[in-house]
A = this chain, B = another copy of it.
Amino acid sequence: MSQTIRVTVWGEFRHEKKNPKVAALYPQGMHETIAGFLRPHADFTVRTAWLDQPEHGLTDAILADTDVLIWWGHMAHGDVQDAVVAKVKTRVLEGMGLVALHSAHYAKIFKALLGTTCSLKWREATDKERLWNINPAHPITQGIGEYFEIPQEEMYGEPFGIPEPDQLLFISWFTGGEVFRSGATWQRGNGRIFYFRSKAE
C-alpha cells in the first residue's frame, strides 16, 4: 500500500446526463460529489472513473494503483462488461477494498463476489430512514452515535439476498414499516467489502 490510501470512485454518470433534475443535483456526476467529500483528506489520493470511458475507466494500470474502489451504479448495471468485472474481482480477491453504495447491491461486481441474488424489497417513497449503528466498535461506525437519519428516502427492505455478513454495522428503520441491513462487511480473498445503503446526499 502506498503512503496515502488510493481511492477510485466509480460512477455510472448516465442518469446525471439524461435527467435534468439529477443533473441539477450532481452537475459533475455523483461520483464527483462523492470524490469531493474525500479529496480534502490528506490521507486519501482520489481519482474517478465512469461507465462510458474506455474499459469503464478501470484499466489494469488504474486498478493496480487503487487500494479502495467505491462503486456506484443503478440503471446501467447490464452495460458493465464482464471482462472488466472479472478484472475488478481479481483485484478485490488480491486485496483491494470495495465499497458498494446504495443500488450497487445489483452491480455485477457485488453479485459476483457474494454469489447470491443480492435482491431486496423496494418502494419508491419519501419515508424517513433511521440508520441504527449496531456495532459502534467498528472503524467505520466510530463517532457516528447511536443512529442518524435521512429525512426523505426511497425504501430498501428485507429480505436482502446476501450471505450472512461477517459484521453487520447498520440496520435501517423506515416509516413505512420496513427494516434493512443497510451496512455490512464481508472478506473475500484478501479483500474487504463494505456495502452501504446510503449515497451522497
Residues of A within 8 A of B (CB): 89, 93, 95, 112-117, 130, 132-137, 146, 157-161, 163-164, 166-168, 171-174, 177-179, 181, 186-192
Contacts and interface: CB of A to CB of B under 8 A. Distances in A.
A200 to B, nearest CB: 24
A140 B159 CA distance: 16
A84 B70 CA distance: 32
25 contacts: A93-B117, A93-B161, A95-B137, A112-B115, A113-B115, A116-B188, A116-B189, A117-B189, A130-B177, A132-B178, A132-B179, A133-B159, A134-B159, A134-B181, A136-B190, A137-B189, A137-B190, A137-B191, A163-B163, A166-B166, A167-B187, A168-B168, A172-B179, A173-B178, A173-B179
A161 B179 CA distance: 19
Nearest to A192: B137
Contact of A163 (B172, B179, B188, B192): B188
A35 to B, nearest CB: 26
Contact of A179 (B160, B171, B192): B171
A190 B139 CA distance: 11
